[in-house]
């Protein structure tokens, strides 16, 4: 992904209405995004465009992701976890 597009995505992932989404998407950009295929990148961009509450319901498992293209990305976000012992 070219620089400006990535920076825009970074802004849109880390300036959300909900802290939970800021933290999760921000962490994924650092740790997981670089390993995605072009198709997965596209799916992530689509997912990042969801409303905050909707996205948080998917990440926290309160709702199942029914879109088969996006579900694997949701699963990756769920696996992208924090560690308070090092973060704090």
Partner 1 sequence: MNIPVYKFDAVIVGAGGAGLRSAIQLSEAGLKTAVLSKVFPTRSHTVAAQGGVAASLGNSEEDNWRWHMYDTVKGSDWLGDQDAIEFMCRKAVEVVVDLEHYGMPFDRTDSGKIYQRPFGGHMSNFGEKPVRRACAAADRTGHAMLHAMYQRNVKANTQFFVEWMALDLIRDSEGHVVGVTAMEMETGQVVIFHARAVIFATGGSGRIFASSTNAFMNTGDGLGMTARAGIPLEDMEFWQFHPTGVAGAGVLITEGVRGEGGILRNSNKERFMERYAPNAKDLASRDVVSRAMTTEIKEGRGCGPHKDFLLLDITHLDPAVILKRLPGIREISIQFAGVDPIKEPIPVVPTCHYQMGGIPTRYDGRVVAPGADGASTVVPGFFAAGECACASVHGANRLGTNSLLDLLVFGKSAGDTAVEDLKAGHAHRDLPADAADKARARLDALNERQGGVSVAEARAAIAGTMQAHAGVFRFSDLLQKGAAQILEVEKMVHNLEIKDKSQTWNTARIEALETQNLIEVAKATMISAEARKESRGAHVRDDAPDTPEFPNGRNDKEWLKHTLWFREGNRIAYKPVHLQPLTGEPVALKTRSY
Q: Which residues bind partner 1 (CB under 8 A)?
A: 3-5, 7-8, 10-12, 14-20, 22-24, 26, 51-53, 59-62, 78, 81-88
Tokens for 9, please give them. 């995505």
CA distances from 58 to 4, 19, 50 (A): 28, 15, 10
Tell me which residue has tokens 């650092």. Answer: 30
Residue 58 has a CB neighbour count (10 Å cut-off) of: 23
**Residue 39 vs 85, nearer CB to partner 1:** 85
Shortest Å, Cβ 67 to partner 1: 20
Shortest Å, Cβ 64 to partner 1: 14
Shortest Å, Cβ 44 to partner 1: 17
């Amino acid at each position: 992904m070219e620089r400006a597009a990535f920076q825009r995505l970074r802004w849109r992932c880390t300036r959300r209405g909900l802290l939970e989404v800021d933290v999760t998407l921000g962490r994924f950009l650092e740790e997981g995004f670089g390993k995605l295929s072009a198709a997965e990148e596209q799916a992530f961009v689509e997912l990042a465009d969801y409303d905050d509450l909707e996205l948080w319901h998917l990440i926290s498992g309160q709702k199942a992701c029914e879109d088969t293209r996006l579900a694997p990305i949701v699963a990756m976000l769920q696996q992208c976890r924090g560690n308070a012992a090092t973060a704090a």
